[in-house]
Structures are given as C-alpha cells and as structure tokens.
C-alpha cells in the first residue's frame, strides 16, 4: 500500500508531493521518490527543496533520512547543495522521461490558416489594454467590500446603471437599471430564456420564429432546449415579419441582419411590435454589432418602440473582446423575476471585478472613445476590401457593408463550395453563406462568402485581402 504525503513547506513557499510505501526502507523509498520527481520533470531545474527538518516532519521520518537522501542525489548530480542557497534541483542533461510508456496516436490537427477572414471576432490586437487596466484598478480601489461577497444575480448595480445610461444614449433603449440582467453573452441569454435542456424549463417557450439566415450555433442551442425554430424569409428590407403566425416569440437582428446585412425596414419594425402586442408575444432583439455603422444614420433599437414587448440583448464580444464574457439583457418587467430565478447558482454569474471594470470603462468615456476609434479602423478596412474587389474581381458584388464587421460577397451560382475549398487549401479561413441557412427554409439558396474584415491584425490585413482575391472564381 502506498501513502501520499504532502509537504506544506511553509518556510520556502512550495508544496512537494511524494509517495512513499507505508512499510519498508524509508531512505531508499525517499531517494526513489525524489529521483522520479526530478527525472519526470515534476521538480524542474532550479527548484529549491524543503530543509531537512521541514520535509522530515511532513513525511514522519528521521531528519538524517532526508539528509542521506539529499546527499545521494547530490552525488548523482541530480541535486546541488550550496551554503546559503539550500538544496536545489540541478540542471540536468538527460531529457524528461515520458509520462506514458505506451505510444498514443495523436488525432490529426487541422491546418492553421495563414489568413483568418472568419466573421464573429474583433481585432484582438486592438484591445485597449492600458485604458482597461486603468478602469480595472480604479474599480477595485473604489469597490465596496460587499462587492467581493455573495452578490445579486442581476449583476452589479454599478454596471447596470452605467448600461442604462449608455444604451439610452447610444442605442435608443428605454429602460432602468432594475430591468437589466447581466449575463456572459448572447448564448447564455438564450439558455436563460429557453432553458438548459429539454427538461430544463425556461422563461419562454417555442415555437420561435428566426431569420432564414443566422448562426447555426444558436439554432442548435435552441434545439437542445426543445425549442422548434420557424424560419422567416429575407429580402433587402430584412425579415418578412408579415409571415409571422402562431409563434410565441421571434428572434431578429434588426440593426444589421446577420449575416446578409442591412437593417430591418422601419415599417417592419412597427409591424413586428404590433404582432407581439396582438399575440401577447415577445421580440428578441440581438444587437450584436449595433455600434459599428459607417454609411448610414444610426438605427435605434426596436426595443424603444415598446419596452414591454422586446427583450434587448447585447454584449462586448464585438466591441471589446469575446474573452471578457460580459453581456446584458434589457427585459420587460414581467420577465425579470423569472430570468433571475433561471440564473440560479452563483457559478453561472459573470465575474464581479470585470463587471466593475466595465462600469468604470463606460462611465469614464473610455468605451465611447474605443468604439469611435475602432469604427474608423474597421471602416477603413471595409473600404480597402471593397476597393480590392473592384480592382481584381469586379464581377463579385459586395453587400451588407454599411455597418458591422463583415461583408457578404455574392458569387456566381454553383461556385460557393469550390471557392471555400480553394480558400482553405490556400490558407484562407472564411465562411460560405450556405453555412448560415436554416435547413427548413424554402427561401432560395444564395451562393456567397461571409468575409470578416475585423479579425486580422493590421499588419496582416493587406496580405489577407490579396489571398482572398486570388481564390475568387472567374466571371
């Protein structure tokens, strides 16, 4: 039988885990255990070992047993002992022994693309590190002590107050802090609204009308929750909301339809709100990139037309970084308590320090400054893409570029699959338009590419655009 011993080593600040047999020679066992830890790499070169007395007390052995074990390994060249610096693991020439003797077959790895033109992410190299760090420091220094204990499932009041002011000013949202619930992003919001699984309950029930083109991940999430989705056809004015029938709710991207582009027509905005009132239904408004508009006036939130019939959902995934995992729901009053109950245990709540930092980032004006700067940067990238296509592939029509972080390239019929394959072969990662098509829609399929122009770092953008132009089909 083997006993596990853990050395607290409080005087040197490291923990050392060794396994010694319950019976038998302790000196030989300790030498073997230390030798294995060094050879396997669990004790890397330079690691300072506990003093004799500390390790002996933790292992329940004599002090001389530890001294003899150290001396043996010093003689082998695995440890060094110097006056004033204690006993340390020596620099060793032999390689670290493999943890497993049986060779394992590694799964094939996907080829890493040289140029990433996939939609859905901002330029990670442009994250405002200095401004965010300043907000983080200020937030931690001024936060009350109770902020670091059990909190409110709705989220920190500082952030909800900051968002209520910002969303009213920038997006035309009509709300108050008590109707805002902080979540970790749009997918988390859907899980809270529709349940975690087929038996997970939820605040809303299906069927749910969705746009004929949208994220398949969201459809899969809803299907897992037992929610049937009904596709609505699209045209240049957005979803054909006059086709809504007996559904209980509808999910729209009215500021900038994803992925085809363009805002929901003003008359259709009014129509969908009237439908929700007549059906006692609700509109889910996905405001995924509403801040980034270039060639048109700002399109306000549908939520502003009727705050009691629209659930407005947003996040910082496009404006700052998806790594922050911070989003929000602006809810009609009748849904607030149910959503908070669905949120449940604290493990699902967003990080409090990051909520406080975002609140400071918004209130200080840093968020507005960052969005304005990135709006100019992304518009310039959009223009470069359009100009390059006009010069090298004038037969390819570019749409959906008045706002957002991606463009749709219309391709000749029957060329989408081969173009995506060619792009992959040449190290260009992008999405075909067909990947976003609802499988149950009777809307005619469209060949095209969804090209994200925000993801590549600035120094790599020109090469990415050139590589894209090189794989486009001829006229």
| CB atoms inside a 10 Å sphere around CB 367 | 25
pLDDT in tens, 91-139: 864 555 544 545 555 555 546 788 999 998 899 999 999 999 999 999 9
Which 8-state DSSP code applies to residue 229?
E
Gap between the Cα atoms of 205 and 76, Å rounded:
70
Long-range contacts of 21-30 (CB under 8 A, 24+ apart): 26/59, 26/61, 26/62, 26/65, 27/65, 27/68, 27/69, 30/59, 30/61, 30/65, 30/66, 30/69
Contact in structure between 7 and 50 (CB atoms under 8 Å): yes
- List, for the chain, all residue ranges whose pLDDT scores fall below the cut of 50: 1-13, 93, 98-99, 101, 110, 197-199
pLDDT of residue 39: 84
Residues in a beta bridge with 293? 403
Gap between the Cα atoms of 36 and 33, Å rounded:
5
pLDDT of residue 92: 64
Q: What secondary structure does DSSP assign to 315-335, as a single string? A: ESTTTT-GGG--EEEE--HHH
In angstroms, the Cα distances linking 49 to 62, 74, 92, 144 are 17, 12, 16, 41
Distance of CA 40 to the CA centre of its chain: 35
Sequence-separated (6 or more) residues with CB below 8 Å from residue 133: none
pLDDT of residue 5: 45
Identify the burial level of 229 via C-beta atoms within 10 angstroms of its C-beta, where 0-12 means exposed, 13-18 middle and 19 or more buried: buried
pLDDT of residue 75: 85
CATH T-level assignment (fold) for domain 131-364:
3.40.640
In the CATH scheme, what is the code of domain 115-120+369-471?
3.90.1150.10
Distance of CA 240 to the CA centre of its chain: 31
Gap between the Cα atoms of 241 and 225, Å rounded:
24
pLDDT of residue 99: 47
State both tokens at 206: 């299906």
pLDDT in tens, 194-213: 986 444 557 898 899 999 99
Residue 335's nearest CA partner among 281, 288, 271, 273 is: 281
Q: What secondary structure does DSSP assign to 420-445, as a single string? A: HHHHHHTTEE-EEGGGGB-TT--SPP
pLDDT of residue 179: 97
One CATH from 2.40.30.10, 3.30.70.600, 3.40.50.2300, 1.10.10.10 for 2-89 = 1.10.10.10
pLDDT of residue 55: 85
pLDDT of residue 97: 52
Gap between the Cα atoms of 458 and 382, Å rounded:
12
Domain ranges within the chain, ordered by starting residue: 2-89, 115-120+369-471, 131-364
pLDDT of residue 84: 73
């Amino acid at each position: 039988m083997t006993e596990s011993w853990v050395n607290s080593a409080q005087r040197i600040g490291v923990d050392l885990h060794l396994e010694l047999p319950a019976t038998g020679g302790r000196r030989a066992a300790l030498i073997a255990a230390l030798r294995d830890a060094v050879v396997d790499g669990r004790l890397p070169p330079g690691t300072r070992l506990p003093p004799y007395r500390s390790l002996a007390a933790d292992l329940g052995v004599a002090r001389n047993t530890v001294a003899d074990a150290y001396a043996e390994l010093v003689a082998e060249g695995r440890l060094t002992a110097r006056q004033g610096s204690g006993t340390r693991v020596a620099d060793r020439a032999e390689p670290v022994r493999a943890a497993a003797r049986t060779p394992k077959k590694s799964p094939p790895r996907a080829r890493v693309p040289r140029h990433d033109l996939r939609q859905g992410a901002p330029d990670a190299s442009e994250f405002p590190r200095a401004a965010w760090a300043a907000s983080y420091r200020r937030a931690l220094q001024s936060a009350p002590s109770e902020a670091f204990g059990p909190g409110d499932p709705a989220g920190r009041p500082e952030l909800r107050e900051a968002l209520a002011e910002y969303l009213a000013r920038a997006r035309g949202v009509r709300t108050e802090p008590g109707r805002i619930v902080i979540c970790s992003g749009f997918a988390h919001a859907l899980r809270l609204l529709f349940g975690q699984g087929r038996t997970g309950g939820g605040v809303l029930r299906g069927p749910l009308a969705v746009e004929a083109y949208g994220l398949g991940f969201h459809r899969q999430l809803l299907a897992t929750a037992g929610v049937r989705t009904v596709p609505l056809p699209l045209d240049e004015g957005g979803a054909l909301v006059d086709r809504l029938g007996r559904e209980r709710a509808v999910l729209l991207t009215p500021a900038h339809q994803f992925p085809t582009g363009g805002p929901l027509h003003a008359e259709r905005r009014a129509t969908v709100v009237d439908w929700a009132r007549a059906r006692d239904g609700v509109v889910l408004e996905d405001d995924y990139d509403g801040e980034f508009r270039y060639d048109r006036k700002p399109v306000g939130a549908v939520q502003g037309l009727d705050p009691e019939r629209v659930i407005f959902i947003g996040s910082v995934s496009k404006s700052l970084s998806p790594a922050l995992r911070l989003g929000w729901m602006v809810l009609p009053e009748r849904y607030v308590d149910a959503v908070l109950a669905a949120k449940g245990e604290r493990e699902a709540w967003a990080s409090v320090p990051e909520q406080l930092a975002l609140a400071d980032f918004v209130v200080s004006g840093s968020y507005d400054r960052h969005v304005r700067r990135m709006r100019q940067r992304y518009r310039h990238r959009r223009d470069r893409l359009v100009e390059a296509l006009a010069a090298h592939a004038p037969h390819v029509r570019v749409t959906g570029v008045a706002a957002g972080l991606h463009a749709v390239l219309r391709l000749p019929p029957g060329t989408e699959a081969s173009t995506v394959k060619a792009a992959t072969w040449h190290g260009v990662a992008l999405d075909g338009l067909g990947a976003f098509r609802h499988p149950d829609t009777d809307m005619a399929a469209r060949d095209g590419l969804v090209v994200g122009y925000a993801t590549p770092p600035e120094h790599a953008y020109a090469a990415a655009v050139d590589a894209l132009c090189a794989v486009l089909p001829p006229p």
